[in-house]
Amino acid sequence: MIADLGGYQMFDSLAVDSAAHTCVATLISGAVSDIAPDGSSGTQYKLPGPMVTNVCFSGKDLRTAYATLSMTGKLVSFERLQPGLKLQHLNA
């Protein structure tokens, strides 16, 4: 996949949701960016810090996303409309 969100942004870790969108921790802009399979960008979930370094899904319906803010050492969560992808070995 190739994606360009514009401006100066750097990608870190990622997770895939149930619609095959890549949800990637986005450094500098301090967000989790939702990127469609065709590379077009969707929602950017802005978070309270510039160094978002990890993202994963949790909760009963996998709609809760968790992300780490590496400059402060905090773990934050936010709700998404699209649930995360169920992992065969974990969410069976």
**For the segment 26-74, what is each residue's pLDDT rounded down to a tens digit?**
999 999 999 999 888 778 899 999 999 999 999 989 999 999 999 999 9
* Distances, alpha carbon 34 to alpha carbons 6, 21, 49, 75, in Å: 14, 6, 18, 19
Domain-located, residue 84: no
The angle formed by the CA atoms of residues 7, 8 and 11, to the nearest 5 degrees, is: 115
Confidence of residue 90 (pLDDT cuts 50, 70, 90): low
> Looking at this protein, which amino acid is placed at residue 87?
L
- For residue 91, what pLDDT is reported? 56
Domain-located, residue 1: no
Domain-located, residue 52: yes
For residue 4, pLDDT beyond 60: yes
What is the spatial order of strands in the sheet that 74-79 belongs to? 52-58, 64-69, 74-79
Domain-located, residue 53: yes
Total number of domains constituting the chain: 1
Confidence of residue 1 (pLDDT cuts 50, 70, 90): low
Residues of the domain holding 27: 10-79
Domain-located, residue 16: yes
Domain-located, residue 24: yes
The CATH number of residue 74's host domain is: 2.40.10
Q: Answer whether 79's CB lies under 8 Å from 38's CB.
A: no
